């Protein structure tokens, strides 16, 4: 017994208040490092870019939680442990910090505590955004009408765009004959066409253009003609 309280539950001969003061409930890393795209808010997770956040603030919080999940060590006597990123600030030296708010149960008592951790999240432009800015593409979907093209056909086709498909579009070119959609990823383009033709009757013709040798392999742009 440390503080002399009586009729309380003890953990290692200490009440919950003394236990939290004398023990480290959770061991956090001194520094949290990460990388996000400053344009689309994708996060660099496990060696690849992943999109999930709708804002820069949300992306930074996702990085914080992901990195903490990999390295945090919690006292086994603490149950129902929760963490939440709190206030972020910068010191006079330009270093950024985040306050990690934590909650848990020791015995029948809820405890709340916090710890400040240095934050090193760099903001870059991801590969997809670089490609979009340069209008890079791997595939073109040429949307046409079997007879006459109409905006109704465009609306129908675009209703099949998943989030991945929408984000993979690097350019859209309209003409009197229809619309050309340029995609930075040919797999996404083929998946979109497959999804569309599984529900809508359409004529599909695939071809290739601008064929060349790249690293000893044949490389070409995929062109998918889609007549509705």
Look at residue 140 in the predicted model and tell me its pLDDT: 96
Q: Are 113 and 20 in contact (CB under 8 A)?
A: yes
The phi and psi torsions of 9 (rounded to 5 degrees) equal -70, 140
CA distance 158 to 136: 21
Look at residue 211 in the predicted model and tell me its pLDDT: 73
Look at residue 32 in the predicted model and tell me its pLDDT: 96
- Tens of pLDDT, residues 52-82: 899 999 999 999 999 999 999 998 888 999 9
- Tens of pLDDT, residues 87-146: 999 998 889 999 999 999 887 888 888 999 999 999 988 988 888 888 889 999 999 998
DSSP secondary structure letter of residue 14: B
DSSP H stretches of helix in 149-226: 151-158, 163-167, 186-197
Q: Tokens at residue 26, please?
A: 């959770």
- Tens of pLDDT, residues 158-195: 999 988 888 889 999 999 899 999 999 999 999 999 99
Contacts by 185-192, CB closer than 8 A, 24 or more apart: 185/138, 185/139, 186/138, 186/139, 186/222, 188/164, 189/138, 189/139, 189/140, 189/141, 189/165, 189/222, 189/224, 190/139, 190/222, 190/224, 191/165, 192/141, 192/160, 192/161, 192/162, 192/165
Look at residue 61 in the predicted model and tell me its pLDDT: 96
Terminal CA-CA length for the chain: 80
Look at residue 222 in the predicted model and tell me its pLDDT: 94
Report residue 218's pLDDT band, with 50, 70 and 90 as the boundaries. Answer: low
- Tens of pLDDT, residues 143-168: 999 888 988 999 999 999 988 888 88
- Tens of pLDDT, residues 8-53: 777 777 777 777 777 788 899 999 999 999 889 999 999 999 988 9
**Antiparallel, parallel or unpaired: β 217-227 and 203-214:** antiparallel
């Amino acid at each position: 017994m440390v503080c002399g309280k009586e009729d309380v539950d003890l953990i290692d001969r200490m009440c919950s208040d003394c236990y939290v003061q004398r023990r480290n409930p959770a061991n956090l890393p001194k520094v949290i490092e990460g990388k996000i795209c400053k344009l689309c808010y994708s996060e660099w997770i496990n060696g690849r870019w992943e999109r999930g956040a709708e804002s820069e603030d949300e992306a930074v919080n996702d990085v914080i939680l992901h990195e903490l999940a990999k390295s945090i060590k919690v006292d086994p006597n603490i149950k129902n442990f929760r963490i939440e990123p709190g206030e972020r600030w910068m010191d006079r030296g330009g270093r950024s910090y985040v306050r990690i708010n934590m909650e848990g149960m020791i015995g029948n008592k809820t405890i709340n505590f916090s710890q400040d951790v240095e934050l090193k999240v760099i903001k870059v432009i991801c590969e997809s955004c670089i490609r979009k800015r340069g209008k890079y593409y791997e595939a073109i979907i040429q949307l046409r009408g079997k007879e006459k093209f109409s905006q109704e056909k465009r609306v129908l086709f675009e209703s099949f765009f998943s989030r991945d498909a929408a984000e993979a579009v690097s350019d859209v070119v309209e003409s009197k004959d229809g619309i050309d959609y340029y995609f930075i990823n040919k797999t996404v383009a083929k998946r979109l066409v497959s999804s569309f033709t599984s529900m809508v009757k359409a004529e599909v013709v695939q071809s290739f253009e601008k064929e060349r040798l790249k690293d000893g392999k044949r490389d070409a742009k995929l062109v998918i003609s889609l007549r509705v």
